[in-house]
Amino acid sequence: MHEAVQALIIHECLLRVTIRIVGNYLREWGFTVQHVRRAAYEQNHAVVERLLTEEYSVLQRRTKADKALIYWGHEIGVLG
C-alpha cells in the first residue's frame, strides 16, 4: 500500500518521499494495512454483473468524454 501512495504523491505533487515517510504519515493519520479475509456474503452477483456490463460502461464513456479519471476506493485501498 505504501508504494501506491508514494506513486500517487509523485504523480500528483511531483514530490518524492521515502516509503518510510509515507508509512509514518499514514500511521499518524490512522490508516492501517488491511487484508481481505473473505468475499462479502451478501454480495448479489446479478447486481454486480449489471453494474460492470451496463452502468460502468456508461461511466467510462462519460469519463473519457470529460477527459477525467476514475479512482475506486474502499477499505483496502485506492485503485486507479
Q: Is the pLDDT of residue 77 over 60?
A: no
What stretch of H or E contains 78? strand 78-79
Q: Is the pLDDT of residue 75 over 70?
A: no
pLDDT, tens only, 49-61: 888 888 888 988 9
Residue type, 43: Q
| CA gap 54, 47 in Å, rounded | 10
pLDDT, tens only, 11-36: 999 999 999 999 999 999 988 877 66
| CA gap 55, 51 in Å, rounded | 5
**pTM of the predicted structure, to 2 decimals:** 0.42
CB 16 within 8 A of CB 10: yes
For the chain, the domains span: 1-34+58-80
